[in-house]
Every structure is written in C-alpha cells, then in structure tokens.
Amino acid sequence: MEKYLPKEIENKWQQKWKNDPSIYAADDLSTNEKKYILDMFPYPSGDGLHIGHVESYTATDIISRYFRMKGFNVLHPQGWDAFGLPAENFAIKTGVHPSETTKKAIANFTKQINSLGFSYDWSREINTSDPGYYKWTQWIFLQLYKNGFAYKKKAKVNWCPSCKTVLANEQVIDGKCERCNSEVIQKDLEQWFFRITDFIENKGETIGLLNGLEKVDWPDSTKAAQRNWIGKSEGTQFGFRIKDSEEAIEVYTTRVDTAFGITYVVVAPEHPVISNLKSKISNFAEVEKYLIEAQNKTELERTELQKEKTGVRLEGVEVINPFTGEAVPLFVADYVLGGYGTGAVMAVPAHDERDYAFAKKYNLAIKEVVSGGDISKQAFTDDGVLINSSDYTGLDSAEARQKMADWLEKENVGKKKVNYRLRDWLVSRQRYWGAPIPIIYCEDCGAVPVPENDLPVVLPTDVDFKPTGESPLVNSKTFHEVNCPSCGKKAKREVDTMDTFVCSSWYYFRYADPKNADEFAASEKINKWLPVDLYVGGAEHTVLHLLYARFFTKALHHLGYLDFDEPFSKLRHQGIILAEDGNKMSKSKGNVVNPDTVVAEVGADVLRMYEMFMGPLEDMKPWSTQGIVGIVRFLEKIWKLQEKISDGQLPENGKNKALIHKTIKKVTDNIESFRYNTAISSLMILVNAFEKEKEIAAGDFEALVAMISPFAPHIAEELWEKLGHQTSVTKAEWPKADAELMKEEEVEMVVQVNGKVRERLMIAPDVTEDEAKETALESEKVKAFTQGKEIKKIIFVPGKLINIVVD
RNA sequence: GCCCAGGUGGUGGAAUUGGUAUACACGCCAGUCUUAGGAACUGGUAGAGCAAUCUGUGGAGGUUCGAGUCCUCUCCUGGGCACCA
C-alpha cells in the first residue's frame, strides 16, 4: 500500500473543490432546514493568517460540514473587513495605495484559507471596501440619519494624537488608544454619532440591548461584559436650590437614603453652573485656575490620581438640601464626572468612600445617618438602618430610598431616574481608508443627505495620505467640492469617513444576498437565512463589534427591514492559543507559529485536527509542537487501516459493533455541543480498537471515514474515493447511532463497601439488585470488608455500581 | 472595589442527573524488531509502601451510603468594568 502523503492528497482535493464550488454552496431555493454558520470576517492584514484564525475557522468548518451531511441547507460564507488603519498607515510610510495593499493581502489570505480546506461558499464573498458594498453602508447611514438615529453634535470626544482621529468610547482601553496604545486626550469637536443609547431598553416591538441578552445563547461572560458596559443604574435625581437664587443644581444618586448625611455638594469642572454663578463666586480666580488644570489633565491622569482628590470651594455660594432645608457648601472637583448623571453629586462622606476621602482632606463635616459602621475609621457604604434622619429614622435603606423618592416626587423637586454608562457611538473618523459619510453641507440648506440615487459616494484616489487631524479627503477637490443636491448651489462634502466598525455591523446580512444592486439585501433572503445560528470569533469584540452589530439589527428591525431583532442566536469564542513558551504570540518575541509552515510540514488535516484536539475551543491553551505528533500518528493509523478492510462477509463482531455505535453517538453529541477535543478522543479509541482487529468490515470503516470527514476532509475524501464512492464524502449521510446495537453483553460493575471501591465484576447489564448483591457478597475481596459486620443498607445503580454499607 | 470564568498527573486535558478520578494524547521508562531513525510495535507510568493497603482534583469545614461535581468560608490565576455617585 502506498504511504500517506498529505501534501499530494490535499492538493488533489483542494483542486477538485475549486473546480466544483457548488458542493459547498448555500441554496437560496432549498426548503431544507437552514443553518447559518458564521466566522467573524478577518481584517486582511499583511501578516497573513494567524494560528488563531485557523482555530475558529476549523471549528465552524467542522459544524458546517457536519450539518451538510445531516441534510441541512448550510450557509457558511467568508469575506473581508477590508477598511482600516494598518493599510492606510502603510500607505503613509510607503506611498502604496491601501487598495493595493488590501488586494494583495486578500489574495494571500484566500490562498491560505484554501490551503486549509475550509468549505466556504465563495460565491458570496464580500469586501467592505468595495463600492458595491459600502454603497449600502452609506445607505444604512442615511436611513439612520433620516430617522434621527444618526446626528452630529459638538462634544468632548476621545482623540488619539498618534492616529490623528477621534475614537469611540469602546476604542479607548485604560485611557489609551485600542490600536496604537497612545494616551488619548479629550477634545471638543463636532462629530457624527449613532443613537445606540436609544436601544438600551425595548423600543416598541424591538427588544432592547439589555433584555435581548436574555434570549440569546451567548457565553455568560460576554453577556455580563455587555451589561457591565451599558452600566444601568437605578437611582434618584433631585434639585438643590442655590441660596438667594431661583436656580437649582440637579444631582443624581443611588443612595437617596443617605440624604440626611449630606454635608456638601460637588459639581464637575465642566458643569455650566460655574460660569452662571461667576458674579457670586468670591474666589473665581482660584476656581478658574482649577478648571484649567482639570481640563489639561488627560483621562489617564484624571483617573490615575484616584486616591488624591482635589477640588475648590465655590466661596459665596451655598445650596439647600431639600430634605433638611439646611444650606451646605458647593465645591468643584474633578472626581465628579461631567459626562455621567447630571455632572453633580450630593456628598455624603459618612457613607461614600470618595466623599469621605475628600471631606477628610478639606476638613468637612461627616454626619452618620446609616448605622452599622464605624465612621471614625472609614465610610460605611452598606445598607443599614437609618439614624439621624427625621421621620425616616428607623427604616432600613431600601425602604427609605422608596419613601424618600416618593416624597421628592410629591414635593415636585425630584424623581426616580435610571442612568446608563453607555454613550452614543461616535462614528466619524478623520482618516482616509473608510466609507465616506454621505452628507453634503450647503450654506443655505445645512446638512443635506446625498440622494440615494447618487450612492455610493466613492472614495477618491487623488489624496495625500499624511494625517493632519483633518480627513485626507479634504485635499481632494474632485471629491470635496460639489453642488447642493437640494438647491444646486456650491457646497462641500463631509470629508470624514466612517469607523470600520460601522462596515462590520451589518456584513452578516449581506451574505444572504451579496450581489444585490437594488437593496442591501432582499428581505425574503435576509429573513430566510438570518438570524445567524452560530457565530464564532474572538472575545476581544465583546463590547465593540458585538454590541454595534446588535444595535444595527435593532435599528433596522425598528425601521421595518428585518423580522428579527437579535442577529446572533448562538455565540462562542475561541480561546487564545499561546506560544509554546506560555506567552502570547507576538512578532517582537519571535514566538509566532505560522500556519503555512505547519501545513507544509504535516498537512492541513493534521493542523486542523490538532488545534481541535488541544482542548476546549474557548479555553486559552499553549501550542505544543511535540503534541502534533499524536495527530500525525492518528491519521497514519487510519490510513493503514485500509489494509484490514475485509472484502468478504465478516461475522458480526458484537463488541466492535457496540463500540462503533457508541462512538457515533459520542461524536455526534460532541460536535453539536462544540466539544471537538473529546469527539476526537473517542475517534481515537475506535481506531485503536480497529487496529487490534485482523479485519474490519467495509461498512464499519466507512462510518469512521464519514465521522472524520468534518475534521480532516482531505484524507476522508481520499479514503472515501478508495472505498469506491463516486461522489464526495460531503454528500454522504452522517452515520446513525443505533441504541440497540450499543448494548454490551457484559458490563463492569463496581462494588463499593462504605463508598470505597473494593471489587470490579463483570455482569450482564440488566441484573437485578438481588442478583448483584449476591454476586458481590461472594467476592473474597468484598468479604474481607464485610465479614462479621451488619449490612445496614445497599445502594444499587443498575448496570454500574453497588455500594454495601456496613457498620 | 464590582462582575464573569477557572484551579485535576511531568504536560495538554477527560469524567450524563452526585456513582470506577486521571479517558485520549504528549512526554518519560522498559522491552521487541531493525538498513540505528525524530520509525513501528508491546508493556508500564498520580504519590507512599515489599505487600495488604493508605493518601490524593488549590485550602478549611459541611451535606451524603457516596463529592472533582452540591453548600459555606478562604486562597490563587485569567478576563471585563471601574472616581459611574
């Protein structure tokens, strides 16, 4: 028999699949039940495919191939998240246009992906930088704009000085730019936003971003992270009247029960009340100095100095606590955030750590109103029973919160209020390589949407890439200077482009109808294929892509374009594959494993199967070059089993039959529950058993080949062909487990005495408790522990275990 | 500080409702064969002990005939959020 030569086999079959793309094509017309299995599409970087891509793409490929064999109509597409900064930065350095770089990278990615035998439906390939695609990104922008979900406003925004563009909140990690790690600063700029906060709670028929999490099958950690990011907080908002004035300062609190302990009020440096009260503030010079200092701090500086609180009293201004009628001093301090709640807080040093630290530093009164702590040492922040709180004394915190909020409402000075941490999504970018925002500014008409007939607004090529802080599109006269679509006068185009996350927020709709020139996708096709049945990708997109995509789905559902309001019914993340040394793979450490090298050495089937065998998909796990040998040996063993295929009739071998059917069941269950590592191990057990046989029935070997085909499609096709099949193993039926045939003639029964294993006996699987007891008590080993003792109890698990309880 | 997910041999990891702890694989040890190779095959491999046996799933308690699995407390690791009032 010839040797197992993965390279030859893999080339042969990849060529065949390429020549017959229909075998993996999704069928728009089929009435079979559909499965939409989706990978997070890659950014085609110059570095090529990463070993982590291989992990998640193999996982989805296995389940896609499995579902096809089960008779489902499977949609398993792939495409390119092709806009983005790396190509643009490369252009700045070298002058090579990003479209060139991207085109090259895509060609390389495609080659690499095909060398791994993934069963994508390439007829549905998409590319976000293709005008045929971003026309619809722009179209969706216009729908959002026309319905009030996209708007432009001046605001304090995150600015990355190195990337020279604004960033969304989600793209700032620990005060640093998600992409380049530079410290982010705050700037007042006029920018485009999407009203994502409108969809936090249910909106009409559309289930909200919070409630929607309850109906999807996503990892708990991901749901928790999204809830965390949205940051819902239920509290009370009420006003402090400024003494000798009609004006009031609104504060927000979750602890209105501590209101009798208020000893001062604090506003954020951005709070408008400061300039409004300028005439009253006797130390305004000092206050102004503080404001300037606060403004110059970066986000990082402002939060890094958490311990050391600073602030200035607004001398000459006092505010009235509505509960006590007491006048308390007013401070400005940058530990209060301008962008959250009302930008002002009531300070209760006895029951809040930050207020406590501030009060200690500036020698302010600390008044205890909830019993249970020792406020001479530290703030007591738990709930408790109220003291020193007039009529509310004696109530516990929860009850007091309710009654005090009711009182505020009755007095018309406050109400219950819900706040969220989530801000609207800032989507404009001052960069080149993205989808242009389809808006035209006219001196007379203002912001005018580009007419839908004029879409796409094509990205011009006559630009200078050097980032200046203004979009490079401003340099393109052909692009920038246009006529107003409304009045025809000279006007200017919006020069900012959209965040690449906008392009990736809807791409999974486009796969349903990728070539449609009249719609972003025909509604019958979208509603046929969507929602996505299984979505697999890295956990780093938890609050970025996954939140934005949900928002798009909800907005489009609300506008009547979709039948569903959650895009991804089931989500799983692949874990990070660490380098052999246990560190993260990185170019600078030189510990990166390149899939091309591994494929060249051991073949795609081995790489695919090894990555699935390493451990649970979602776990972080280190690469092991040594460990691959196990899979090489496994596939070689399967190859050699061909020699044992019997051409004649084999006598029924009961033991192997049971093992085959048990394996079918286990592999089937494991694939459906995404536990490929244990699926492979049970296949190994079956192969080890086959190896011990002199001959194997052809049908049994076929079942094995069918089962390995999702994991290692090339060797499976080759063996399938050698078994005499004319058609691809993809067209084969997935083997069925027969429960009758799984039954063993004899099973091992564990005999325990007082819960400890003392003996293992072979019995018929259906013996009764009495029979089992009798057999067990005859055993010498068991006797040694039961002799002369009274049997108090027998626990019997049929076919498995008997536990004899003695004194 | 808050919220998730985890801690099992030398290594990656197995273990339906609580029911044989360490499947499968790597590595290691011994052996067989050999054209000495990073091949193949056979056997062994949690720890202690000559053995019977005892001890073992981060730690301490508890529930149970029986706990890796359930409960309480605690330590550690990874991830997310964080001056959010």
pLDDT digits (tens, 9 = 90+) for A304-339: 655 688 999 999 999 999 999 999 999 999 999 988
pLDDT at A807 over 90: no
Q: How confident is the model over A115-143, as a mean pLDDT?
A: 98
Nearest nucleotide over every DNA/RNA strand to the A629 CA, judged by C1':
B26
Q: Binning pLDDT at 50, 70 and 90, where does residue A69 land? A: very high
Nearest nucleotide over every DNA/RNA strand to the A627 CA, judged by C1':
B26
Torsion of CA A466, A467, A468, A471, to 10 degrees: 110
A173 Cβ within 7 A of any nucleic strand B atom: yes
A395 Cβ within 7 A of any nucleic strand B atom: no
- Tell me if the pTM is above 0.90: yes
pLDDT of residue A806: 84
pLDDT of residue A408: 96
C-alpha A692, offset from chain centre: 46
Count other Cβ atoms within 10 Å, centred on residue A371. 14
Residues A554 and A203: their CA atoms lie apart, in Å, by 9
List the A570 CA – B3 C1' distance (angstroms).
22
Q: How confident is the model over A404-418, as a mean pLDDT?
A: 95
Residue nearest to nucleotide B26 (CA to C1'): A627
pLDDT of residue A425: 95
A278 Cβ within 7 A of any nucleic strand B atom: no
Q: How confident is the model over A129-138, as a mean pLDDT?
A: 98
Nearest nucleotide over every DNA/RNA strand to the A754 CA, judged by C1':
B65
Average pLDDT over chain A, rounded to whole? Answer: 92
pLDDT at A637 over 80: yes
Residue nearest to nucleotide B21 (CA to C1'): A757
Q: How confident is the model over A524-539, as a mean pLDDT?
A: 96
For the ranges A190-194, A539-543, A650-654, A725-729, the lowest mean pLDDT is seen at A650-654
List the A692 CA – B32 C1' distance (angstroms).
18
A798 Cβ within 7 A of any nucleic strand B atom: no
A298 Cβ within 7 A of any nucleic strand B atom: no
Residues A471 and A461: their CA atoms lie apart, in Å, by 13
Helices (H) and strands (E) counted in chain A, each on its own, are 26, 35
List the A235 CA – B74 C1' distance (angstroms).
34
List the A147 CA – B71 C1' distance (angstroms).
53
Burial A493-512, CB ≥16 within 10 A → b, else e: bbbbbbbbbbbbbbbbbbbb
pLDDT of residue A296: 79
A233 Cβ within 7 A of any nucleic strand B atom: yes
Looking at A725-798, which runs of residues are DSSP E strands?
747-753, 756-763, 791-797
pLDDT at A299 over 80: no
A456 preceded by cis ω (within 30°)?
Answer: yes
pLDDT at A88 over 70: yes
CA atoms within 13 A on the CB side of A132: 11
A378 Cβ within 7 A of any nucleic strand B atom: no
List the A732 CA – B25 C1' distance (angstroms).
29
Nearest nucleotide over every DNA/RNA strand to the A358 CA, judged by C1':
B83
A373 versus A109: which is more confidently predicted? A109
pLDDT of residue A156: 84
List the A740 CA – B20 C1' distance (angstroms).
24
Residues A487 and A467: their CA atoms lie apart, in Å, by 33
Q: How confident is the model over A665-669, as a mean pLDDT?
A: 95
Q: Are residues A422 and A78 in contact, defined by beta-carbon separation less than 8 angstroms?
A: no
C-alpha A639, offset from chain centre: 39
A797 Cβ within 7 A of any nucleic strand B atom: yes
Strand B, nucleotides covered by protein (CB < 7 Å): 3-5, 11-15, 17, 19-21, 23-27, 40-42, 53-54, 65-67, 78-85
pLDDT of residue A172: 87
Nearest nucleotide over every DNA/RNA strand to the A625 CA, judged by C1':
B26
Q: Which of residues 304-363 of A touch strand B (CB under 7 A)?
A: 305-306, 309, 334-337, 340-341, 343, 345-346, 352, 354
Nearest nucleotide over every DNA/RNA strand to the A236 CA, judged by C1':
B85
Q: How confident is the model over A435-444, as a mean pLDDT?
A: 96
List the A399 CA – B85 C1' distance (angstroms).
20
pLDDT at A522 over 80: yes
A692 Cβ within 7 A of any nucleic strand B atom: yes
Residue A414: strand, helix, or coil = strand
State ipTM. Answer: 0.94
pLDDT digits (tens, 9 = 90+) for A357-394: 999 999 999 999 999 888 888 899 988 999 999 999 99
pLDDT at A215 over 80: yes
Q: Are residues A729 and A709 in contact, defined by beta-carbon separation less than 8 angstroms?
A: yes
The most confident of A45-49, A502-506, A540-544, by mean pLDDT: A502-506
Least Cα distance to A349 among A275, A227, A265, A293 occurs for A265
What are the beta bridge partners of residue A777? Answer: none
- Could you tell me whether strands A172-173 and A481-483 are parallel, antiparallel, or unpaired per DSSP bridges? unpaired
Q: And the tokens for A500? A: 């690449």
List the A802 CA – B41 C1' distance (angstroms).
39
- Return all residues near A148 (Cβ < 8 A) that are at least 6 apart: A195
pLDDT digits (tens, 9 = 90+) for A71-81: 999 999 999 99
